[in-house]
Amino acid sequence: MTTLILASTTDAASRNIAVELLEKLDLQKDSTKQGWFNASGVHLRLLDHDLIGLRQHEIGDPYEVVIFLSRHKSARHEKSLTVHATGNFGEDISLGGNPAELGLAAPAEMQRVLIHLKDLVEERGSPYRVSYEATHHGPTNLSSRSFFVEIGSTSREWKDREAADIVAEAVSRSMSTRTQAVPFVGIGGGHYAPKITSFSLEQPYAAGHIIPKHTAKNIGQELILEALEKSDGSRMAVLEKKGLDAETKAKIRGILDLRAVEYLWI
């Protein structure tokens, strides 16, 4: 099994990260397939459309993990480097995927990239904030585990070659890192999950799907169980003490207790 990295030529951040990775991973152009580049154990493909609407037939056989390189857009206009799993907790599919469906997350691989991003930002004195994001947008129906790694949050950052190099270096380093971590589902807090991010950076626990507080309030048992199953079959949840109201805490505890899922509060 190998790793597939997907980038879009229509996305400046995605394209710049891909260019850096071509050199770092010594990827060679595939003369038989347009837009494909290969090295031992890894393939990179350049697509001419956004990645959130990707379908399984566009990548073919399953891979060990699929890494999407992308821009991140936010009204906060904050310099950010983020990683997250894919999925839709509700019916809105305006950003790709299927309604009320989660993709297969890759907790260990996400954590490795997150750790290397944090280390590189500190080493280089970069102003970028590193964090997880809550699960959101497509694709949701791939047969491979996958995640997004993104540069945010405006066109200035998307074109920042130093940021692209940091992301590419983090992805490259993660491929030669083999750490053991317990997968978990994060529940509570805001979209950028600062407490869950800190927990995963400091402890041998790797987040898969992350359910933010506004979603946790209305989520049902079925999607919570799907989040666990699609986070490498996790049997553990990490909940933010101050990131959930009392009613939501009671509901989540009831679901987890019923299914004998271990949980801890942070």
pLDDT at 178: 84
Task: Kindly provide the b/e burial profile for residues 220-232, where b requires at least 16 CB atoms within 10 angstroms of the residue's own CB.
Answer: eeebbbbbbbbbb
| Enclosing domain of residue 80 | 3-265
Q: Which residues of the chain have pLDDT under 70?
A: 1
pLDDT the model gives residue 1: 65
Q: CA 57, CA 75: separation in Å to the nearest integer?
A: 34
Q: Which residues contact 40 (CB under 8 A, 6 or more apart)?
A: none
Q: How far, in Å, CA of 203 to CA of 184, rounded?
A: 12
Query: What is the 8-class DSSP label of residue 40?
Result: T
Specify the pLDDT at position 69: 98
Question: Number of structural domains, the chain?
Answer: 1
In angstroms, rounded to a whole number, what is the distance separating the alpha carbons of residues 236 and 217? 19
CATH number of the domain to which 142 belongs: 3.40.630.50
**Predicted local confidence at residue 147, as pLDDT:** 98
Return the pLDDT at 193. Answer: 97
pTM for this entry: 0.97
The amino acid at 123: E
Q: Would you state the pLDDT for residue 45? A: 97
Q: How far are the Cα atoms of 52, 84, 128, 170, 181 from residue 157, in angstroms, in the given order?
A: 20, 18, 9, 17, 31
Of residues 75, 100, 93, the one with CA closest to residue 138 = 93
Query: For residue 199, what are its two tokens?
Result: 């927990």
